[in-house]
Structure 1
Amino acid sequence: MNIETALKEAMTVEGAIGVALADYESGMALGTLGGGRELDLEIAAAGNTEVVRAKMRALSLLGINDTIEDILITLGTQYHLIRPVTSGRSSLFLYLALDRSRANLALARHVLKRVESGLDV
């Protein structure tokens, strides 16, 4: 699926606030959907590139030869879910922000995994 379709599918998750596809090498968002005044997805995507880079560095320093499925950041009112894209360009990740009071985290992880596996970039 293309970027637009992938972002739309991710936004079908109950409680979705916004979603982005970003490149953690450049910090640039390739696409965003949702967000608004509540969440600036361009800034969020750029900021989360540091999270992904730090985790990649940590794995390397620890000599762990494995891949990251997802990274979860829990806030008081939100979940932020980061899922690296494993096919195609390896420096991409999906970022999904959710309203914690409305979201089902297990379902969100499942949907984001399906979106990631079907993404054609």
Structure 2
Amino acid sequence: MANMDVSLKEMLTIDGAVGAVVADYGSGMALGALGGSKDLDLQVAAAANTEVVRAKLRAIEALQLNETIEDILITLGSQYHLIRPLTGRGGKGLFLYLALDRGRANLALARHQLRSIEDRLEI
């Protein structure tokens, strides 16, 4: 099992990683963040992506789907943004957020590595 700091560091080792956050989608607050840049404020990203998670959860409920979100992918011109709600014990209401440089990232591998990090994360 890995704590949050270790998990954030692991997220930044993923090829193309620009920033990593563990956030609470109830409050919109980042519990921990590493990376970022002048063009990517991770605190703002955590709060904004909270709305993305909430909207998707409302859509699933409105459609009466008996499903959980595995991950959400947002594809931009130069970046991928991966959002992964935590499903493990103690992770309810939290999500992992990973921003990737699209030119350097392998999306399939990044998704696999993020899933593995989630499995080891202990909050």
Shorter-chain TM-score bucket reads over 0.9
Point out where structure 1 has 5 or more consecutive residues left out of the alignment.
none
Equivalent position SS for 2:45: helix
| Pairing of 1:1-121 with structure 2 (within 5 A) | 1-87=2-88, 88-121=90-123
Looking at structure 1, the residues matched to 120 and 85 of structure 2 have their Cα atoms a distance apart, in angstroms, of 13
The amino acid that maps onto 1:113 is R
Q: Please give the TM-score of this superposition, normalised by the length of structure 2.
A: 0.96
Looking at structure 2, the residues matched to 73 and 9 of structure 1 have their Cα atoms a distance apart, in angstroms, of 21
In the TM superposition, what whole-angstrom CA distance separates every residue of 1:50-98 from its partner, at most 9, and x where no partner exists? 0000000000010001111000000000000000000113100000000
The root-mean-square deviation of aligned C-alpha atoms, in Å, is 0.6
The amino acid that maps onto 1:37 is K
Paired residues, what number? 121
Looking at structure 1, the residues matched to 10 and 104 of structure 2 have their Cα atoms a distance apart, in angstroms, of 17
Point out where structure 2 has 5 or more consecutive residues left out of the alignment.
none
Identity among equivalent positions (%) equals 64
Equivalent position SS for 2:104: coil
Equivalent position SS for 1:110: helix
Equivalent position SS for 2:18: strand
